[in-house]
Amino acid sequence: MMQPLFLGLAGLALNDDERALFKSADPAGYILFKRNVDSPDQVRALTQSLRDLAGRDVPILIDQEGGRVARLRPPHWPEFPTGETFGKLYDKAPITAIEACRLNALALAALLRDLGINVDCLPLLDVRDLEGHDIIGDRSFGAEPMIVSALGKAVLDGFQAGGICGVVKHIPGHGRARADSHLELPVVTASRDELERDFEPFRRLANAPMAMTAHITYTALDANRCATLSPQVIDFIRHDIGFGGLLMSDDLGMHALGNPQSGGHPPGSNALADFGARALACLDAGCDIALHCSGDFAEMRSIVESAPVMSAAAARRLAAAMAWMGPGDATPVAEWAVARDALLACA
């Protein structure tokens, strides 16, 4: 029976321990990082081995945004622009920027689909805040919610046409955070009315196939638990923002969740047991999937031992997300990139 987990792995190929654990747990999907990629042929072999093990077209995720967040890099793979690049173009030529962003997404889709990767953790819908931590920074399309929404939709349109699935992140909004949730728990004290600016892109794109939560405490929504672990915030995402797709946590290994104030750190628990508790806490709060990225085997084993069987509702959302993407086509990455660059040069 499938478990509601997206898991990482340690290296360039499955090892025996991972193969046995994944076979018994049947996680819903996997995520790849720089440590898992070396060459195109190696990545294709790895993704095929994950599908062979699962016996189905399993979701295989990656963070391939462009700029500083890119797991696939030269010399084997091209560089891609940052979100900010398209936001700056939008200020001069909105229609051109939207089309350039769509073409960029088509290029990303062609690259990933060729490698057997079918989910990109993009578009980032976080509205930039000049006082916010630079962990978002130039990854954002900008400080205007309408522009972020328009360019985020262009990414989703390109992904759907290109045959991969997109993930909007970090719902309900990370741009206002003054800390990096990889390192500590951000606490956002803005009022509900002030937060509407952050929520707007997620409302506009509430029909996205997948979304990733933010490890942030929003005191206006739940002062005692971060969004990932808060039933109140997950309910807000579902019913106020209106997101009905597959909802995954951000990485369980981020230090924000290790903070006792996050709501997911049982007093006195040991480190390994805490990973199982974190997984349960985010699933109990209403996330469909718990995401664990590091590939640390002991942590994964603790998570697998704690995780329940995937709910029927989560399984339906996963199936709908995987059915959302189109078949793609045979247009090469370079052709989409040339068309994108021609539009970027226009401005």
Task: Give catalytic residue positions.
Answer: 182, 250
Q: Between β-strands 64-66 and 60-62, what pairing exists: parallel, antiparallel or unpaired?
A: unpaired
Decide if 226 contacts 267 (C-beta within 8 A). Answer: no
How many angstroms separate the CA atoms of 278 and 264, rounded? 5
DSSP structural state of residue 252: T
**Cα(181)–Cα(230) distance, integer angstroms:** 16
The 8-class DSSP code of residue 135 comes to: T
SS3 content of the chain, % helix, strand, coil (to 5): 50, 15, 40
DSSP label at residue 223: S
Q: 275 in helix, strand or coil?
A: helix
Q: What is the DSSP letter of 205?
A: T
Contact 275, 292 (CB under 8 A): yes
User: Please, what sign has the CA dihedral across residues 186, 192, 194, 200?
Assistant: positive
What secondary structure letter does DSSP report for 240?
A: I
Lookup: tokens for 249: 């946590």
Amino acid at 221: L
Cis peptide before 174 (omega within 30 of 0): no
Residue 320 CB partners (closer than 8 Å, separation 6+) = 209, 245, 246
Write phi, then psi, for 31 (nearest 5 degrees).
-135, 140
| Residue whose entry in the numeric block shows the structure tokens 């963070």 | 63
Cβ-Cβ contacts under 8 Å for 15 (sequence gap 6 or more): none
